[in-house]
Structure 1
Amino acid sequence: MKYLPNIIIALLIGSFASVDAAPPEAGSIAEKDTTQNWTFKPDPTLPNVLILGDSISIGYTLQVREHLQGKANVFRPMGRNENRRENCGGTTYGLENIDRWLAVQKWDVIHFNWGLHDLKHVKAPGSSDKSNDPDDPTQATLEEYTKNMQTIVGKLKATGAKLIFATTTPVVPGTRNPLRTPEAPVRYNAAARKIMEANNIQVNDLHAFALPHLDQWQKPRNVHFKPAGSDALAKQVATVITNALEAPNQ
């Protein structure tokens, strides 16, 4: 019986370890939903809005389109397959494809974000192979992210569109597959904010907007949002875009 406490401690440690090792991130609901119809017929009399971002933005784009119906045509990159909603990934992927996305037509407003892919841990620098090891690198270092964002912003400004940068949404503790840490979005957002301030670009602070509601809006140990969270983000994004459309050109 004297060994019983040690056995209990060992079982508890094993239990906690197994929970931490469990795969929590199942991916984005919107990206997995193949029933959604992303094609639409734009109204040539309305302004054109482009949403650039990863799966978080995929989760709210269709709702933003509904909120802005009759006010603007809302697009996002669709890749090379007509009904495939393209994930804009990290800034490295963004740099490789930004010219293609911007060349589609003349844009009046561009709402954009990069961050969640850049700050995730991967097996090797720049790769997309997921890692749960904190000693492994992030897909893009903070310095690389900053440099890439500066180049991307230069290309966005050249379009003449009104620009809105959305801060990267929060990461909850225990997020795995891949590992992301809660403090990483804070650091990457701070770097992005400096670029936006230097270029007089509006910031839509989705990080601060979502942070008080993560228990209700975000999936556990996961960066992706529940439908209620995506709906809330969509309303916020639609409001900010509407204000930009209605604001006089400077």
Structure 2
Amino acid sequence: MNHKSLNITATLLFTATAMTHAWAEDPYNYKKPRESQNWTTISLKTKTANGPDLPLVLLIGDSITVRYAAEVGTALKDKAYVSVLGSSKAADDPALLDEIKLVLRQNAYSVIHFNFGLHGSAGDLRTGLPVVIATLKRHAPNAKLIWATTTPCQKKDDAPDTDVIEKNRVAAEPIAEAGIVVDDLYTLVAKHPTKLWDGGGVHYTAEGTAIQSKQVAQAITPLLPVAPAAK
């Protein structure tokens, strides 16, 4: 084997070793249990061909978010274009970070309204939420962030949803440390004079969804960039 062949072989070995090392630094935890109905939905909205130049808003969350997203888009119709990333993954699932980064690479968002709570445990949230926050700040450094508290599930005899209460307690510390605005959807639902759940006790009636979408739009509006005055 001549020196040229030796150099090529050494280069290939170095490249393969470096790639293997890079992959080893970011492994997927395929053994982490996921729910049997593991899903992701993405709907990205941007300026249309002849549409106004409005800021972009991203909603991130679970099926609760997906259900109120369309109504939020309608409420902000003349103020922003609203996109949604919905996922059943827990906050500490590394694949969730890939989904977030995939969406953030498409557009520069002015406001990101996000929540992770119904899926996974309080421990998952404790581990994963600081990483999610860091990911949002790194890949969307100019976006204003809003954390939505997790909505409660309906319990027998209208008992408090202690699981969600604990998740919201766990989330409060990293959210406060990061100086992120809070949209308290939990209190909106839990303290509402009428029961807003549908028959399943997790999702909401049309009225419940409308009430949530109205508050989400109200939380987002003051954080939207002010349009320059017309000359």
- Alignment TM-score, normalising by the size of structure 1: 0.65
Answer yes or no: is the 8 Å Cα contact 2:198–2:204 preserved in 1.
yes
Q: Counterparts of 1:244 and 1:210 in 2: how far apart (Å)?
A: 23
1:117 aligned residue: 119
Q: Counterparts of 2:168 and 2:69 in 1: how far apart (Å)?
A: 21
Whether 2:84 is the aligned partner of 1:76: answer: yes
Q: Counterparts of 2:195 and 2:67 in 1: how far apart (Å)?
A: 16
Amino acid at match of 1:111: H
Amino acid at match of 2:184: D
Q: How does 1:15-54 map to 2 (within 5 A)?
A: 42=47, 43=51, 45-54=53-62
Q: Deviation of residue 171 (structure 1)? A: 1.6
1:90 aligned residue: 90
Provide closer, same or farther for how the CA distance between residues 220 and 212 of structure 1 changes in structure 2, counting only shifts above 3 A: farther
Q: Counterparts of 1:198 and 1:87 in 2: how far apart (Å)?
A: 25
Provide closer, same or farther for how the CA distance between residues 41 and 98 of structure 1 changes in structure 2, counting only shifts above 3 A: closer
Q: How does 1:67-216 map to 2 (within 5 A)?
A: 67-77=75-85, 86-91=86-91, 92=93, 93-119=95-121, 142-158=122-138, 159-160=140-141, 161-174=143-156, 182-213=161-192, 215-216=194-195
Whether 2:55 is the aligned partner of 1:55: answer: no
Amino acid at match of 1:156: L
Q: Counterparts of 1:106 and 1:243 in 2: how far apart (Å)?
A: 18
Write the deviation string for residues 192-214 of structure 1: whole angstroms up to 9, x where unpaired. 11011100000101001111237
Q: Quote the sequence identity (%).
A: 31
Amino acid at match of 1:61: A
Amino acid at match of 1:146: R
Q: How does 1:235-250 map to 2 (within 5 A)?
A: 235-245=214-224
Answer yes or no: is the 8 Å Cα contact 1:52–1:88 preserved in 2.
no
Larger-gyration structure (1/2): 2
Q: Deviation of residue 144 (structure 1)? A: 2.8
Gaps of at least 5 residues in structure 1 are: 1-26, 32-37, 78-85, 120-141, 176-180
Write the deviation string for residues 32-78 of structure 1: whole angstroms up to 9, x where unpaired. xxxxxx6766346110000001110111100000100110010113x
- Alignment TM-score, normalising by the size of structure 2: 0.70
Answer yes or no: is the 8 Å Cα contact 2:56–2:80 preserved in 1.
yes
Amino acid at match of 1:172: Q
Whether 2:206 is the aligned partner of 1:227: answer: yes
Provide closer, same or farther for how the CA distance between residues 197 and 68 of structure 1 changes in structure 2, counting only shifts above 3 A: same
Q: Counterparts of 1:162 and 1:189 in 2: how far apart (Å)?
A: 20
Q: Counterparts of 2:58 and 2:126 in 1: how far apart (Å)?
A: 22
2:11 aligned residue: none
Write the deviation string for residues 68-107 of structure 1: whole angstroms up to 9, x where unpaired. 0110010113xxxxxxxx4353212523422112111101
Counting strand residues as a fraction of each chain, which structure ranks higher?
2
Q: Counterparts of 1:45 and 1:174 in 2: how far apart (Å)?
A: 48
Answer yes or no: is the 8 Å Cα contact 1:51–1:74 preserved in 2.
yes
